[in-house]
Amino acid sequence: MSSDLSTFTDPRSVAVVGASPNPAKWGYWLARGALRGSHRRSVYLVNAKSAVIDGVGSLPSLRDLPEPPELVVLCAPAASVPAVVREALDLGAKGFLGITAGIDAAHGEPGLERRLSAEIRAAGARIIGPNCLGIYDCAHQLELAWGAFHPGSMAVVSQSGQLGLELAGLAAHAGLGISRFVSIGNQVDVTAADVLDDLVDHETTKAVVLYLESFDGGRELLGAMARLRAAGKPVVVLTVGASEASRAAARSHTGALTAAIDVVAAACRAAGAVLVETPVQAIDLAHLLLGSPLPSGRRVAVVSDSGGQGAIAADALAREGLQVPRLAQATSQQLAVLLPAAAGVANPIDLAGAGEQDLTTYARVVETLLVSGEIDTVVLSGYLGCYGDDTPELVERELEVVKTLADAVRVHDRPVVVHSMSHDSDAVQLMRANAVPTLHTIDAVARSLGHAADLVEQDGDEPAHVTAAPGGTGRSLPYLAGRRLIAGHGVRYPVAEGVRSAAEVRKAAGRLTAPYVLKAGWLAHKTEVGGVVVDVPDADAAVAAFTNMAGRLGDGEYVLEEMDARGDTVELIVGARRDPCFGPLVLVGTGGVQAEVFGDVQLALAPVSQEQARRMLESLRASRLLTGWRGRPAVDVDDAAAVVAAISRLLAERPEVAECEVNPLRVGPDGAVAVDALVIASSHHDGGTDQDQDDDASGPTGASR
C-alpha cells in the first residue's frame, strides 16, 4: 500500500470531531463506525459538550486528547472547520477526512477550501474531501462513513457519496461485498487518481467501480486505471452524460462529431477499463469480474430448458456483439447422446426436458461444450436455481450440480454464466460464491458478457503523457499552410498552387494537370458558401470559375489543385482535437459533406499506432465499403490507417495545434489522398504554425508518403 494514503485506510489513531449522540446526525454514524475499529487503533470522540456516545465519553477539543491523532474526521459545523484544521496541524495530524460541506459559503470566502488544502499540504499532511461521505476498508476494519458495508473484494471510488452508497447497497443485494469504499468529494487534495493508485497493491481488492462527474487530470487518471488493469484488477467506470470540460463543440466537423460521453468511452478503452451506463449495470458486470474467468473471445453457447428462452438469449447476445455459432457436427452428436430426440443440439441447445428428468444433465452438457474448444463462454438460461426452491427434495441435488459446474469452470478456465429465474435461492447464492456469475435477466447476462469481451479485447496500455488542452483555439491556417503541415507528417496531397488573379489561374493551369479543383483557401468550411468548384476541365473553365468565385467572396488566396479523379474510392474524415481533460483525441469516420449526417465515427486517445488505427476503421459501420462491396475492389485500408496514425501523432507532437482535420480523405485501391486540410492553431502558442502560415507557396506544392 502507498504510504502516502495509509493514513486514510489504516491509521494508528482516529479523532472524530463533531461526534454526536443523536442517531440522526452524521457525527453519530461516524463515531459508531470508528468505535468498531477501536480494538485495532485508538479512537477519540470530540464533542464540545463532552457527550457520551454509545457508552463512550467524548472530549471537548483535540487538545484534550492524550496523544496527537493521526487521522482527523471533520464533521463539525462548517464555520468551525478552519480552526479545527489548524489546531490539528499544530498537534501533528497527518490526515483529514472532510465530511463537512459548504466551508466556503459558511465563511463567505470563495476558495477557502483550496487555501486550507494548501496549508495542509505545506504541513506535510493530506485531506480527502471535503463534502465527502467517508471511507470504509474491510481489511483494516476502518469504518468512517454513513451507511453499512458488507466485506468483499470490490472497491468503490465515487465522486458522489450517495451514488457510491447505492453501488455498495446493490452489491450487497447481489451477494457481493466491498473491499474499500472512498467518497472523494471535492478533491481539493487527494484525487480519484491517487485513490485508484493506492488500490493497485491493495490485496483485498479484485475489481474497482469508479463513478466520476469530472475528469480533470484525465491522463493521470487513465494511467492509474491502466496500472490496475495490469495488476489484474479490472475497472468499471460510471459517469454522467456530458462533462462541462468536453461540452463545447469545436469549429471542425471533428468537434461536432464527438460527444463528451464518447470521449470518456475512448479514454476508458485506452486504459483497458469499461464504461457502463447505470449502477445496476456496474454491479451486474462485477459478477463476471470477481473470480470468474473472463471470456477469451465472443463465441457463446446457449443452453436452456426452454426453447423460447434459448432463442431470446441468442438474440440478446447478438445485440451485444456476441456470436452464437452453430456447433460442429461431432459436438452436436455428443450432445445428442445426452439429450432426448426432440432436443436442439446445434446452438442454442434446448434440453427438451432432460434437466427436469436428471439435473446432472446440465453439468454434462456444459462439460461437453467446454471441452469442444468451439466456444468461449457457456450461458445457461432458464430454470436452474429454481428446482430446490420449488421442490425441496431437489435442494441437495441442485447444489451438487452447482458444485460440478464450478469445478468445470476452474478446470477449463472458461466462464459459465447463468440467467436464473430465481433471485437468491440457495443454488443461486452458491453459484455466485463459486465463480459462476448468476443474474436474474438475460439482458443483464448479455450486456455484461459484451462488456467483459470488450475488456479482454482492449489494449489496456498506459496512455502516453501528452500536452493537455491549451485552453482555447485561435485562427485557422490558410489551406496551403494547413496541408503543408499535414503533408509534413506523411499524408499525400495532390499538387496545388496558390492564385490571386485570373492571370495566375491561367498560368497555374498550364503547369497542373486537369481536371482541377478551385478553392477559397482562407475559408475553414468552403462548401457551405460556394468556396469550392470541382471537376474544372481546362484553363478557360478555371479562369471563369475564379472570376465568379472572387466576385462573390472577394480578394484572398485561392488554390488551384489537381483533382483526385480516381474511381472506386471511399471518402473518410480523419480529425484530431484537444480535449480539456484527456488531451489529444483522434477520430475517423464516414467522410465528405455528409459526415455529421451519418455520424459513423470511431474515437481514440492520440497518438495511436497504425494497427490501432486499422481497428478503428474496421469498427466503422461503413467498414464493408473499405473491403469491397457489390463487385467494387477493396481499398488500401493500411494506407488509410497510416493517415489516421499520422494525424494522431501530429496533434500529440505539436502542442501549438489545437485541431486538425482532413475531410475528405479519399481512399482507393492504390492508396489514400487527402483533398482538404483544416488546421486550427492554439491561441496559447506562437511560432511553429505561424511559419507555415506565412510561407505561402508561389509554385506547385504537394507531398507523398
Q: Are residues 553 and 630 in the same domain?
A: no
Looking up residue 557, the CATH number of its domain turns out to be 3.30.1490.20
Predicted confidence (pLDDT) per residue in 139-184, tens digit: 999 999 988 899 999 999 999 989 999 999 999 998 899 999 999 9
Average of per-residue pLDDT values in the chain = 89
The mean-pLDDT minimum among 241-255, 531-545, 546-560, 644-658 falls in 241-255
> What letter would DSSP give residue 683?
T
Residue 499 and residue 374 share a domain: no
Whether residues 12 and 116 share a domain: the answer is yes
- Greater confidence (73 vs 253) lies with 73
Please tell me the predicted confidence (pLDDT) of residue 694: 40
According to the model, what pLDDT value does residue 472 have?
52
* Res 251: pLDDT: 41
3-state helix/strand/coil string of 350-387: ECCCHHHHCCHHHHHHHHHHHHHCCCCEEEEEECCCCH
306-326 pLDDT tens trace? 899 999 999 999 999 999 999
Lowest-confidence segment of 394-403, 502-511, 550-559, 680-689 by average pLDDT: 680-689
* Entry pTM: 0.87
Q: Kindly report, residue by residue over 93-134, the tens digit of the pLDDT.
A: 999 999 999 998 888 899 999 999 999 999 999 999 999 999
Same domain, 309 and 446: yes
pLDDT digits (tens, 9 = 90+) for 215-274: 888 889 999 999 999 999 999 999 986 444 434 433 444 444 445 788 899 999 999 999
pLDDT, tens digit (0-9, with 9 covering 90-100), for 334-382: 999 999 998 999 999 999 988 888 999 999 999 999 999 999 999 999 9
In what order do the strands lie in the sheet containing 558-562? 532-536, 516-520, 558-562, 493-499, 701-703
- Note whether 331 and 356 are same-domain residues: yes
Among 531, 562, 593, the domain-final residue is: 562
Beta bridge partners of 304: 350, 381
Domain count, the chain: 4
Domain span holding position 319? 288-457
- Looking at the fold, whether 413 and 305 belong to one and the same domain comes out as yes
Report the alpha-carbon distance of residue 496 to residue 519 in Å, rounded. 10
- Same domain? 554 vs 624: no
Listed residues 562, 586, 617: the one ending a domain = 562
**CATH number of the domain within which 627 lies:** 3.30.470.20
Domain assignment present for residue 264? The answer is no
pLDDT band for position 12 (cuts 50, 70, 90): very high
The answer on 196 and 332 residing in a single domain is no
Is a pLDDT exceeding 70 seen at residue 596?
A: no
**259 three-state secondary structure:** coil
Determine whether 444 is exposed, middle or buried from the number of CB atoms within 10 Å of its CB (0-12, 13-18, 19+). buried
Nearest to 30 by CA among 116, 137, 142: 142
Position 293 scores a pLDDT of 93
Which phi and psi angles does 566 have, rounded to 5°?
A: -65, 145
Per-residue pLDDT, 598? 65
- What residue type is 327 in one-letter code? L
CA 279 to CA 517: how far, in whole Å?
Answer: 53
Whether residue 662 is found in the same domain as residue 629: yes
The answer to whether 603 and 635 are in contact (CB under 8 A) is no
Residue 271 placed within a domain: no
Cα–Cα dist 678/599, whole Å: 19
Name every residue whose Cβ is closer than 8 Å to that of residue 672 and which is 6 or more positions away in sequence. Answer: 491, 492, 636, 639, 640, 642, 643, 665, 666
Query: Is residue 458 very low, low, confident or very high in pLDDT (cuts 50, 70, 90)?
Result: confident
**Quick one: 128 and 43 in the same domain?**
yes
How far is the C-alpha of 314 from the C-alpha of 328, rounded, in Å?
17
Decide: 362 and 385 in contact? Cβ < 8 Å: no
User: Could you report the per-residue pLDDT of 466-496, keeping only the tens digit for each?
Assistant: 655 554 556 889 999 999 999 999 999 999 9
Confidence of residue 459 (pLDDT cuts 50, 70, 90): low
Q: How far is CA 248 from CA 245, 251, 279, 661, in A?
A: 8, 10, 27, 17
Give whole-number Cα distances, 538 to 206, 262, 268, 531, 535, in Å.
Answer: 69, 45, 51, 19, 9
Give me the mean pLDDT over the 442-455 stretch: 95
